[in-house]
Structure 1
Amino acid sequence: MRALLFLLLIAALPRAQSADLAAAEAIVQGRCFICHGANGESSSPVFPRLAGQNAAYVARQLADYRSGKRKSSTMQPMVEELSPADMQALGEWFSRQPPQEHPVQDPELAAVGRFVYLRGNPFSGVPACASCHGPQALGSETLPRLAGQHAQYVENQIKLFNRRERTNDNAVMHGIASKLSELETKAVAAYLSGLK
Structure 2
Amino acid sequence: MLVWLAACPLAAGAADYPEVDLQRAEEISAGRCSLCHGAQGESSTVLYPRLAGQHYQYIAKQLADFQSGRRKSDTMASMVQGLTPEEMLALGVYFEKKPTRARMATDKQLAAVGEFIFQRGNEFSGVAACASCHGERGLGSPQLPRLAGQVRQYTESQLKSFNSRERTNDNAVMHSIASKLTELEIKAVALYISALD
Q: Does TM-score exceed 0.5, indicating one fold? A: yes
| Superposition map of 1:14-163 within 5 A | 14=4, 20-163=21-164
Query: 1:14 aligns to what SS in structure 2?
Result: coil
Deviation at residue 73 of structure 1 after TM alignment: 1.0
Cα deviation 1:102-142 (Å, max 9, x = unaligned): 12121211111000000001111111000001101011111
Q: Is the 8 A contact 2:46 2:154 kept in 1?
A: yes
Q: Is the 8 A contact 2:35 2:44 kept in 1?
A: no
Deviation at residue 14 of structure 1 after TM alignment: 2.4
Cα deviation 1:63-98 (Å, max 9, x = unaligned): 000011111111111001100000000001100001
Question: Could you tell me how far apart the structure 1 residues matched to 2:78 and 2:90 are?
Answer: 18
Question: Could you tell me how far apart the structure 2 residues matched to 1:19 and 1:189 are?
Answer: 33
Q: CA RMSD for the aligned pairs?
A: 1.5
User: 1:179 aligns to what?
Assistant: 180
Q: Is the 8 A contact 2:127 2:181 kept in 1?
A: yes
Deviation at residue 183 of structure 1 after TM alignment: 0.6
Deviation at residue 39 of structure 1 after TM alignment: 0.3
Q: Match of 1:172, as an amino acid? A: V
User: CA separation of 1:164/1:113 partners in 2, compared to 1, >3 Å: closer, same or farther?
Assistant: same
Q: Is the 8 A contact 2:60 2:88 kept in 1?
A: yes
Deviation at residue 170 of structure 1 after TM alignment: 3.6
Query: 1:132 aligns to what SS in structure 2?
Result: helix
Question: Which one has a larger percent helix, Structure 1 or Structure 2?
Answer: 1
User: 2:11 aligns to what?
Assistant: none
> Taking structure 2 as the reference length, what is the TM-score of the superposition?
0.90
Cα deviation 1:139-168 (Å, max 9, x = unaligned): 111111000001110000000000011121
Moved more, 19-28 or 129-138: 19-28
Task: Number of aligned residue pairs: give it.
Answer: 184
Cα deviation 1:26-84 (Å, max 9, x = unaligned): 11111200000000001311100000000000000000000111111111110011000
Query: After the TM superposition, which parts of structure 1 deviate over 3 Å for at least 4 consecutive aligned residues?
Result: none
Question: Could you tell me how far apart the structure 2 residues matched to 1:100 and 1:66 are?
Answer: 30
Identical-pair percentage:
59
Question: Could you tell me how far apart the structure 2 residues matched to 1:63 and 1:147 are?
Answer: 23
User: CA separation of 1:162/1:25 partners in 2, compared to 1, >3 Å: closer, same or farther?
Assistant: same
Structure 1 unaligned spans of 5+: 1-11
Question: Could you tell me how far apart the structure 2 residues matched to 1:195 and 1:112 are?
Answer: 14
